[in-house]
Amino acid sequence: MASLSNSVNMTIRIDKDFKKQVDSLFKNLGTNTSSAIMMFLKQCDREQGLPFKPNMLAPEPSKELLESLMEAEEIRNDKNRKGYETVDEVMKALEE
């Protein structure tokens, strides 16, 4: 491991809301953003590349998502189910 006397500062620019998000994420994971970036860089060095496969493709939907979409379509097409056009209609039905 490099000694502190051999370390340098690195500056990156990111959206401040995104920084808050990742700071919170890494805190919940028991670390901080700086340490997470260091882990990423060490993994890149270890693998001599990115530790994931970058691509321009959308991720494949999960089995659960596909099942949920099919169920939603079935519900939408079921003429025996009451549908609602507005949130107010839903709220009124819930109060009944």
- Convert the pLDDT of each residue in 34-77 to its tens digit: 999 999 999 999 999 999 888 878 788 899 999 999 999 998 88
Are the C-beta atoms of residues 20 and 12 closer than 8 Å to each other?
A: no
Domain housing 31 = 4-47
pTM > 0.75: yes or no? no
Least confident of 2-6, 29-33, 75-79: 2-6
Q: For residue 54, tell me if it sits in a domain.
A: no
Which residue do the tokens 């025996």 mark? 80
- Is the same domain home to 14 and 40? yes
Domains identified in the chain, total number? 2
Are the C-beta atoms of residues 60 and 66 closer than 8 Å to each other?
A: no
Q: For residue 33, tell me if it sits in a domain.
A: yes
Query: For residue 90, is pLDDT > 80?
Result: yes
Q: For residue 56, tell me if it sits in a domain.
A: no
CA–CA dist 85, 96 (Å, integer): 17
The 3 state secondary structure assigned to 50-63 is: CCCCCCCCCCCCCH
Helices within 1-96 (DSSP H only): 16-28, 33-47, 63-77, 87-95
- Is the same domain home to 8 and 43? yes
Q: Is 37 helix (H, G, I), strand (E, B) or coil?
A: helix
- Is the same domain home to 37 and 67? no
* Burial of residue 96 (number of CB atoms within 10 Å: 0-12, 13-18, 19+): exposed
Q: For residue 79, tell me if it sits in a domain.
A: yes
